[in-house]
Amino acid sequence: MPEQRNAWRRHDTAALARELRGAVRGEVAFDAAARALMTMDASNYRRVPLGVVAPRDTEDLAAALAVCRTYGVPVVPRGGGTSIAGQATGTGVVLDFTRHMRAITELDPGTRTVVVQPGVVLDDLRAAAGVYGLTFGPDPSTHSRCTLGGMIGNNACGSHSVAWGTTADNIYDLSVVRYGGGEELRLGQGWRSDAPEGLRALVNGNLALLRTGFPELPRRISGYALDALLPENGVNVARAFCGSEGTLAVMSRATVRLVDAPRARVLAVLGYADESAAAEAAPALLPYGPLTVEGMAEDLVPERERALLPRGRAWLFVEMGGDTPAEALSRARQLLKAAQALDAEVVTGPAQQRALWRVREDAGGTATRMPDGSEAWPGWEDCAVPPARLGAYLRDFRSLLAGHGLRGTPYGHFGDGCVHVRIDFDLLSESGVRRFRAFSEEQAELVVAHGGSLSGEHGDGQARAELLPKMYGNELVALFGRFKDVWDPAGGMNPGMLARPARLDEDLRFAVLPGEPVDVTFAYPHDGGDFSAAVRRCVGVAKCRTETPSGAGVMCPSFRATGDEQHSTRGRARLLHEMLAGEVVTDGWRSEEVRGALDLCLSCKGCRSDCPVGVDMATYKAEFLHHHYRGRVRPAAHYAMGWLPVWLRAAAPFTRVLRPASRVRPVAALVKRLGGIAPERDLPAPAPGTFRSWWRARNRAGRQPAQEPGTTTVVLWPDTFTDHLSPDVGRAAVRVLEAAGLRVAVPPRQLCCGLTYVSTGQLDRARAVMRRTLDGMERAAGLPVVVLEPSCAAALKADLPELLPDDPRAAALASSVRTFAQALEEYAPHWRPPVIDRPVAGQTHCHQHAVLGDAAEQRLRERAGLAGPLSGGCCGLAGNFGFERGHYDVSVACAEEQLLPSVREAAQGTELLADGFSCRTQLEQLAGRRARHLAEVLAEGLAAEPADGSEGPATRPAEGL
């Protein structure tokens, strides 16, 4: 091993950082937060780097590599950080290509080539190519956030590899910079390319070994592709570089091949008895020219999606393309004749196809939880065997799992013989880690016995490189080491991967976590009450790093606004993990690094539903703030907006004075300064009268309409926002609910869901408020509770039972919560809403999307003739977030992502809908447009009581509790 590999000494870190800052123009970060964000990728491994450099261009890259060589510090190139085997982690300097070097520098539709820098995100490349009817063929499930540099480093594949091959199959040439800097090397085909000195002699001296040592199969990703350097294979140096996992040099640009994108696609879904039967059927489909042959068993298909699928317990998703929909459909029908399936269905609708593909793409996260909720992990994520052997291999694999007492659900690229699986390894105990090693060794032997590759997609990394001798033999593996030394004689490029690898059971990321559960306030029922288990839910697949929102998705608005890893759900989870570990982030709950990352979390709860593993960062943030500020003075905004229910109740008798006073600029400025409120914000004025005062006056006048005996009573929840700030919404809801034949009751005293205390982390106060609420709702036990404000409904539905898990009343109240549309659909199913016949635009509240779902709202709008979808994303105000000082710019950026453009583009006469008070406030303050709650629009359409409360004679007194 070269001496320079160990030349670095810890006391040189400060000097290294100084020299890097002087040498490169990009960001250089050696602080705890930057290092903590890079300790892990999507694997089981954790390695702590010294620092992070984000080079701006090739000159920066070369300068950074030169400095690191001088100090003997290793480097690891990193793209999206979604590697499954640990190769995107390192102990030296991480080169982060997600900030800069993201340009598509040249796109030639005539030659179907494009030149890219390493940080280009795959979906950005596909979008640029799509303008010309072209695409980049390889498409891993992380296509919305993985980078081309990472794809080349791992030789990524994806579901369309049966049609278009691996990344290596689509590379023309590469430019790379070696450890130590210097000029770029241009790698292509033939020895005329800039191959390093000694490479040709290495190949020519080992021709026999190279010709016999590599198995033939479509998904051989393991090891170095030295056979690409054989004369009969064209001496393709660029191809040999692909899949080298950052161990040879750093890619600075690539010229890649594009392919024609089919104009039309259909999806044939074929049902089989089990995954082995599906696997055995897959090879017979390949002659029909499918674009994909993907396999998945029932354990990975959510119940809500199974209605889309034909009969069976496992399915093949076979995509067929054509120039026209008719041609694609005809080809799919021809394929069905050879499929030998139990049942089959051809899906032509784009929305249905997207829903099914979303299930497949999320499987990398979904599979991390077994059906009983226990954890499962990568490690043997992507073995590949010849497609004709896949069925037999899966049966043997199942037997091996059972023999070790392990469980896993296979899925993946059955047409290529590549199987993904997460296994419920116990990686927390010594005995569990020993079992992990024993299984890994036997699994490697099983794969080799079937003529396969230890890796069929994600690379070897630390997870499998130690076992490469079982696949290639000692002689060829020794040649791998010599190959690396030709490129990297100093040994500074990503040491521990591929050549001279680290042990597969070292550096496991779980070893640093606390051995006993951390004392926390929320119950974390899905994680056994263990905060560490909740944090380690994040496996790093980085769906939260998607920069372009899709459909109704919400996660993660602050990352899309800033582009900064620490403001992604994954980044925050990594910092919490390091906080629990205590090695890099050393201040525990007092950590300023964690507080800084959570500061821009909007608590939108989008990750609760959009994250494949259900990370709930809003809850983690509330938990952290609770501990961080315990016994300390809080930010002014926590007192101003966290205690908003108290201030609004206190102000209610004085609204005639306070409303005009809030419009006086000096007064408003003083209030905002004292309350920690953004100076750019207008203060919402309390309504002239509360909803509850209107309700009491109405009851005294006896103006509630008569109801038939046996009429269902619903409790209308008078949340703080409806009661004090939007009483028109409450009055409208009463009219509509009563018009639907429901009897409305309202709690006799002011109650609170505790939302504002939860969002500011004042959890002791939140629990006290919630207990008082449960006391006040005892007379309403068993009645449905209609909550008009989605954030309050979500607090009652999710936060209440998790903060008061030992009080059965909390779970009972949570189960009784209904949204306005849910109540109408469930308790007045035959009621016909007024037909409005108007297009709509606006916002689905993020808490509604994440916790409650909006299917009932969509159906109610359709029945009322309110046509069109509402925007996804987050409005950016998010309760107290957008009002807090320092958050205004991010708040506006979030609104500009989907909400404000959808409103600006809406045709004249479009009804603006937003059930959340925050969403309506954001629209009013940023767009000058008034949006309404769905209840208000429906009430306007009813021939009902006038808004002033003069309803006419009543025949029955109002209902009380």
- pLDDT value at position 365? 57
Q: What whole-number distance in Å separates Cα of residue 207 and Cα of residue 226?
A: 10
pLDDT of residue 762: 98
Cα–chain center distance at 221:
26
pLDDT at 954: 37
The pLDDT score that the predictor gives to residue 380 is 87
State the pTM of this model: 0.93
Residue 32 structure tokens: 């705890």
| Spatial contact of 921 and 902, defined as CB atoms under 8 Å apart | no
Phi/psi region, residue 953 (left: phi>0; alpha: psi -120 to 50; beta: rest), is beta
277: amino acid identity, one letter: A
- pLDDT the model gives residue 622: 98
What tokens appear for 855 in the block? 């299917």
Compute φ and ψ for 422, nearest 5 degrees.
-105, 135
Walking along the chain (961 residues) 10 residues at a time, the average pLDDT comes out as: 43 90 97 97 96 98 97 96 95 96 96 98 97 96 94 95 96 96 93 89 97 93 97 96 98 97 94 92 95 89 76 93 95 90 90 78 63 81 94 95 93 93 93 97 97 95 97 97 97 96 96 93 94 94 83 87 95 98 97 97 94 94 98 96 95 86 87 95 92 92 69 95 97 97 93 97 98 95 96 98 97 98 97 95 95 95 94 92 96 95 93 96 96 97 54 41 67
Contact 766, 758 (CB under 8 A): yes
228: left (phi over 0), alpha (psi -120 to 50) or beta: alpha
295 forms beta bridges with 316, 412
3-state secondary structure at position 866: strand
229 within 8 A of 198, measured Cβ to Cβ: no
Q: What is the DSSP string of 681-719?
A: SPPPPPPSS-HHHHHHHHHHTT-PPP--TTPPEEEEE--
- Residue 823 structure tokens: 């109540």
- Token pair 């105000």 in the structure block, residue: 877
Can you read off the two tokens belonging to residue 123?
Answer: 């979906």
Picking from 432, 450, 414, the residue whose alpha carbon sits closest to that of residue 297 is 414
Nearest to 851 by CA among 802, 796, 783: 796
Can you tell me the distance from the alpha carbon of 92 to that of 435, in angstroms, rounded to the nearest whole number? Answer: 30
CA distance 832 to 740: 8
Asked if 382 and 412 touch (Cβ cutoff 8 Å), the reply is yes
